[in-house]
Structure 1
Amino acid sequence: MDLFSFIDCANRSKSLPALFELLVDCSCQQGFSQVAYGALNYNEPVRLPGHPMPAIAINFPWHWRKHYFDRKYHECDPVVRRTPMLSKPFMWDHLLKREQLNPNERLVMEESREAGLKHGVSVPLFGPLGRISVLSFASTFNDAEPAQNVHRLNVLAWQFHIAFAAIAQPAQPVKQSVGLSDRERDCLRWTAEGKTAWDIGLILNISENTVNFHVKKAMRKLGTTSRTVAVVKAIRFNLIDLPGRLDSTTRT
Structure 2
Amino acid sequence: AAVILIEPKQLLTAEQKQATALFWQLLASPLSECVQRVLVGDESPFTQAEIACIQWTADCKTPQEISLLLTISEQDVNDHIQHSLQKTGVSHISQLIGFCRQWGLLTY
Matched, 1:241 2:94: no
Deviations 1:183-237 (A, max 9, x none): 0000000000001111100100111000000011111112111011101101111
Distance in 2 between residues matched to 1:175 and 1:183, nearest whole Å? 19
Give the structure 2 partner of residue 181 of structure 1. 47
| TM-score (normalizing by structure 2) | 0.59
User: 1:240: how far off?
Assistant: 2.0
Q: RMSD over aligned Cα, in angstroms?
A: 1.6
Shift of 1:175: 2.1
Higher RCO by CA contacts (8 Å cutoff, separation 6 or greater): 2
Distance 1:230-1:221 versus aligned 2 partners, 3 A rule: same
Q: How many residues align?
A: 69
Alpha-carbon distance in structure 2 between the residues aligned to 1:187 and 1:176: 22
Kept after mapping to 2: 8 A contact 1:200/1:208: yes
Q: Is the 1:190–1:200 contact (alpha carbons within 8 Å) kept by the matching residues of 2?
A: yes
**Aligned twin of 2:18:** none
1-structure distance, mates of 2:86, 2:95: 11
Equivalences for residues 93-104 of structure 1 within 5 A: none
Stretches of structure 2 lacking an aligned partner (at least 5 in a row): 1-33, 38-43
Partner of 2:95: 229
d(CA) in 2 for partners of 1:176 and 1:227?
Answer: 20
Alignment identity in percent? 29
Aligned match of 1:141: none
Which structure has more strand as a fraction of its residues? 1
Please name the residue that 1:205 is paired with.
Answer: 71
SS in 2 for 1:217: helix
Gaps of 5+ in 1: 1-173, 243-252
Q: SS at 1:175's partner residue?
A: helix
Matching residue of 1:52: none
* Runs of 4+, deviation exceeding 6 Å: none
Query: Which one has a larger percent helix, Structure 1 or Structure 2?
Result: 2
The alpha carbon displacement at 1:176 in A equals: 4.2
Q: Which residue of 2 aligns with 1:60?
A: none
Letter aligned with residue 213 of structure 1: D
AA of the residue aligned to 1:190: W
Deviations 1:129-180 (A, max 9, x none): xxxxxxxxxxxxxxxxxxxxxxxxxxxxxxxxxxxxxxxxxxxxx9241611
Matched residue, 1:190? 56
* Alpha-carbon distance between aligned partners in 2 of 1:222 and 1:239, rounded to the nearest angstrom: 13
Q: Which residue in 2 is equivalent to 1:219?
A: 85
Which string of whole-angstrom CA distances, capped at 9 and with x for unpartnered residues, describes residues 84-133 of structure 1? xxxxxxxxxxxxxxxxxxxxxxxxxxxxxxxxxxxxxxxxxxxxxxxxxx
